[in-house]
Amino acid sequence: MLVLDGKIASAAVKASLLQKTDALKAAGKRTPHLAAILVGNNGASETYVASKVKNCDETGFGSSLIRFDNDVTEADLLAKIHALNEDKNVDGILVQLPLPKHIHDEKIIEAIHPNKDVDGFHPMNIGRMVQGMDTFIPATPYGVLLMLEYFKIETKGKHVVVIGRSNIVGRPMSILLSGDRPQGNASVTLCHRNTPKEETIKLAQQADILVVAVGIPNFVSAEMIKPGAVIIDVGITRVEDATAKKGFRIKGDVNYEAAIAKASAVTPVPGGVGLMTIAGLLMNTMKAYEGKF
């Protein structure tokens, strides 16, 4: 059983990026810069954004964290994005989701210049991705691809079952893995909340690679895992636990003990896909800096 350790795979990605930024610095050049916008004080979002900023530091990238109160107007948020779009020292812009209910996510995402959309959420970039064109791939699916590449997991001709159809993970993941690309060429089945659970179970049992992104701890039980399957657990849910130092524990979507008993390879939570998401984001920010598409 192989643990698909996100620490190891993301360290490799970060080391190659650090080499590039060291070379840029040695040549007296500016390094990539990420601007992250955080609205409100959602605990999980705070943690994710802090981690993104820290990882920028570690790879020699510049970063700015721009905070707004929960009651920020859509107009103020849009004005900031427009300013960042114009700022020549900012290569990548991300707006941490979820946003407060009075803000329309789509409007905010569409306001980000597609060439600075390092989250890969802009409809133009999604369209490019669907067509197999070069673009920013959404950070989490990109991180999963980087993980599969690092651990040399073959996807061609395999049956992949993706559970969850979010715009951020499940849907782009299903498109990428079925595409004609490295870490693609799989036959992909996409299950979601309207797939009867017994059907999801039956399909999961046939999966050579099972990708789960539903945000429900322990959604995948032992019976859903084909012996020898590769399990990619994208879930990161905070579960209250009075015995934990912070008062909660991070849980994935997969019963980890069941997975390590039956699968050939499993991503741990924490320490798996979450770290790869940041690697994907950093890769996209370097790509934005290099102006490669």
CB of 32 to ligand GUN, least distance (A): 17
Query: Which distant-in-sequence residues (6+ apart) come within 8 Å of 109 by Cβ?
Result: 95, 117, 119, 121, 122, 123
The catalytic residues are 52, 96, 119
CA-to-CA distance for 190 and 159, rounded, in angstroms?
11
Q: Is 95 or 265 the residue whose CB approaches ligand GUN more closely?
A: 95
For the stretch 260-275, what's the b/e string if a residue is b when 16 or more beta carbons lie within 10 angstroms of its beta carbon?
A: bebbebbbbbebbbbb
CB of 139 to ligand GUN, least distance (A): 5
Q: Is 59 or 277 the residue whose CB approaches ligand GUN more closely?
A: 277
| Residue whose CB is nearest to ligand GUN in the complex, by number | 97
Residues that bind ligand GUN (CB under 6 A): 94-97, 119, 139-140, 168, 277
CA 113 remoteness from chain centre: 20
CB of 151 to ligand GUN, least distance (A): 21
Question: Are 9 and 146 spatial neighbours (Cβ–Cβ below 8 Å)?
Answer: yes
CA-to-CA distance for 4 and 273, rounded, in angstroms?
9
Q: Is 119 or 208 the residue whose CB approaches ligand GUN more closely?
A: 119
CB of 277 to ligand GUN, least distance (A): 6
Distances (CA, A) of 180 to 119, 124, 127, 132: 22, 20, 15, 7
92 beta partners: 34
Q: Is 31 or 277 the residue whose CB approaches ligand GUN more closely?
A: 277
CB of 247 to ligand GUN, least distance (A): 21
Q: Is 4 or 168 the residue whose CB approaches ligand GUN more closely?
A: 168
3-state secondary structure of 225: coil
